[in-house]
Amino acid sequence: MDGENLPAKPWWREIQIVWLVVLVVGIYFSRTDDLYLAGEETRRAQVAAEMLWSGDWLVPRQQGKIYLSRPPLGSWAIAIVAQLRGELDVVSVRLPTLLAVLATTLLLYGYTRNFLPREGAFLAAVGYPTMAQVLQLGRVAESEGLFTFFISVSLLVWHWGYLKKWPGWAMWSAGYCLAGLAGLTKGPQGIAYFVGPVWFYLLVIERNWRSLLSPAHLVGLLGGGITIGVWQVPYMMATSWEAGKAVWLTQASNRFQFFDWAGAVKHFVRFPFEILACTFPWSLAFVQVFNRKCWRALGDLRSELQFLLVALAVTFPTVWFAPYARGRYFMPLYPLISIWCGIILSRCASASRETGMNKGWRVFLGGLSTAAVVGGIVVCVIAFHPSWVLENVQIPPIPAALFLGLATAIAIWTVSHIGSSEGRSIQVSTVCIALIMGFIHTGLIVSSQAARQPQVGDLLADVRTELRPDETLVSFGRVSHAFAYYYGKFIPQYDWPATAQDETLPTYFCVRRSDLETHELPFAWEPIAEMSFEDDDTPSARTYVVVGRRLPLIAQKPKPERN
């Protein structure tokens, strides 16, 4: 690293930190509650709600039944925020993810500031929160945001300590404890994504096998084991050995349950392109990993690049060869892709104008600016004349016009400064790209989704009118977690009734419509409401919830006896 790149003051006191905070807060913390909770968000929220209702934070439950999909750290985070804020609303449910994205972004700047100048570290940090899929998942209460934070921080803090020659026990303890927290968030992937890259890097690249046999490494392993064990042991004592295994292995085993060769081949071909789309626009720079000239220009960063690429190469097959893996499963490594892209683009931008690398930077900026303007025109056409293009796409005119204006202004600025290799121009260009990506999601996509989403209050109006506050609503079998969350009260889960004469049966109940299609209720009843919280036009029968009222026995006609 050149001496001029060394920070003259602590990295957290540099002005770029302020820019990053303002940028991430502006993109992620704005319009947080414009959209209702959807997808798996309500499941995470419901598990947290039952922790708060019951006071049992040890065993995650859904409708009172043990929830075996994953360990509970994600729901703990939601429940803690809800306690601090005094309510389990949309903001409380999503805030842990938003904070995780901000923390990951700042970590990237601090890590890369060890070997990059300010503009390079800024590029590396901005890339992660403005990737296409991070913009999608980083604003919602899915587990990926928190999971990505713990995995990336475990890898980068460990390597940070390795480069800076921290005491071995501190380096290993930090890595394994953070990996343990990743495991408590989403299961064994969190631990594997730390152990695999680090061990491979030490054994194959550094040939430092002694580090793995050192007492310091043993201390780190012990720290990671304790991090998991403080929850795992009491959990198994409260449940069973089988539940202790299932909470770690259920989700992972489901990925290979329905294997077929045709699907596997299709996934193998498609998945790399899916990752490039998920990490757009910065993936346009990542493909330079196959450029030999680029490698020669980055020779002084060999150690850093080797660790990044080892981590990516070791972990990528775990999702590439899994037929039903999605791009989001590789999101924990997106911060490392962001670092690589930041290194490449900063070198391209600061290179001499006559070089091919600088030309690549100018093409990158010019291409994105042009695409943004063209996209703005298309968006305005859809917004002002939807019948000309897609009638079912709803984009409000004001956000569309604002996006076109923003894209045009950025394109004009970019064209006038595209050849500058000054650090400030590079950083402003980076902010321009971030603003375009941020506005596409926060301004356009969120507005379109808000126009289509179901009105939760209207869906539940009939139910709240019919049921008195002291009435208990139960479910026969498990119902949609979205309904359970929005209902706002604990819904006990009953087995499917066998006889109408059971006096313990409640008056009000709810069931999935799909269960009514395969089972018959043994008593007379009348429907009160039927609803689904999906925002598409054809929700599945599994997501539809039917709320009914059991009629008194005196009103029920006995079924004739069969001869």
- 87-109 core/surface letters (b: 16 or more CB in 10 A; e: else): ebebebbbbbbbbbbbbbbbbbb
- pTM attached to this predicted model: 0.91
Counted domains in the chain:
3
Residue 64 falls in which region: left (phi positive, over 0), alpha (psi -120 to 50) or beta:
left
415 against 242, higher pLDDT: 242
Each residue of 266-281: pLDDT tens digit?
989 999 999 999 999 9
275 found inside a domain: yes
Do 302 and 410 have their domain in common? Answer: no
As a residue count, the chain comes to 563
Last residue of a domain, one of 425, 452, 479: 452
Do 240 and 118 have their domain in common? Answer: yes
560 found inside a domain: no
Do 286 and 318 have their domain in common? Answer: yes
CA distance 144 to 552: 48
Name every residue whose Cβ is closer than 8 Å to that of residue 286 and which is 6 or more positions away in sequence.
Answer: 276, 279, 337, 340, 341, 344
562 found inside a domain: no
Each residue of 168-195: pLDDT tens digit?
999 999 999 999 999 999 999 999 999 9
Mean pLDDT of 518-541: 78
129 found inside a domain: yes
Do 467 and 428 have their domain in common? Answer: no
Percent over 70 (pLDDT), the chain: 91
Residue 362 pLDDT greater than 90, yes or no: no
Residue 44 pLDDT greater than 80, yes or no: yes
Q: What is the pLDDT of residue 181?
A: 98
Last residue of a domain, one of 452, 470, 505: 452
CA distance 402 to 408: 10
561 found inside a domain: no
Last residue of a domain, one of 350, 378, 398: 350
Do 339 and 428 have their domain in common? Answer: no
Report which of 249, 260, 167, 251 is spatially closest to residue 214, judged by C-alpha positions.
167
563 found inside a domain: no
425 found inside a domain: yes
153 found inside a domain: yes
Tell me the β-bridge partners of 475. 493, 510
Residue 539 pLDDT greater than 70, yes or no: no
Residue 2 pLDDT greater than 60, yes or no: no
351 against 64, higher pLDDT: 64
Residue 322 pLDDT greater than 70, yes or no: yes
Do 36 and 174 have their domain in common? Answer: yes
Residue 409 pLDDT greater than 50, yes or no: yes
Residue 449 pLDDT greater than 90, yes or no: no
395 against 4, higher pLDDT: 395
Do 340 and 398 have their domain in common? Answer: no
Percent over 90 (pLDDT), the chain: 59
Each residue of 127-150: pLDDT tens digit?
999 999 999 999 999 999 999 999
Residue 465 pLDDT greater than 90, yes or no: no
Do 15 and 97 have their domain in common? Answer: yes
Lowest average pLDDT, out of 143-157, 183-197, 499-513, goes to 499-513
Q: What are phi and psi of 427, to 5 degrees?
A: -70, -40
Lowest average pLDDT, out of 107-111, 158-162, 412-416, goes to 412-416
Running DSSP on this structure, what letter comes out for residue 130?
G
CA distance 360 to 363: 5
Do 326 and 195 have their domain in common? Answer: yes
Q: How confident is the model at residue 563 (pLDDT cuts 50, 70, 90)?
A: very low
Residue 440 pLDDT greater than 80, yes or no: yes
Q: How confident is the model at residue 556 (pLDDT cuts 50, 70, 90)?
A: low
Name every residue whose Cβ is closer than 8 Å to that of residue 393 and which is 6 or more positions away in sequence.
Answer: 382, 386, 448
Do 374 and 332 have their domain in common? Answer: no
Average pLDDT, rounded, for the chain? 88
Q: What are phi and psi of 511, to 5 degrees?
A: -145, 160
Q: How confident is the model at residue 23 (pLDDT cuts 50, 70, 90)?
A: very high
Do 209 and 266 have their domain in common? Answer: yes
Structure token pair of residue 503: 């006096």
Domain that holds residue 277: 3-350
Structure token pair of residue 237: 């004592």
Report which of 534, 527, 541 is spatially closest to residue 463, judged by C-alpha positions.
527
Do 289 and 387 have their domain in common? Answer: no
Q: What is the pLDDT of residue 455?
A: 80
* Residue the block writes with tokens 């990752």: 275
Running DSSP on this structure, what letter comes out for residue 59?
S
Torsion over CA of 88, 90, 95 and 100, rounded to 10 degrees? Answer: 120
Q: What is the pLDDT of residue 21?
A: 97
Bond prior to 492 in cis (omega within 30° of 0): no
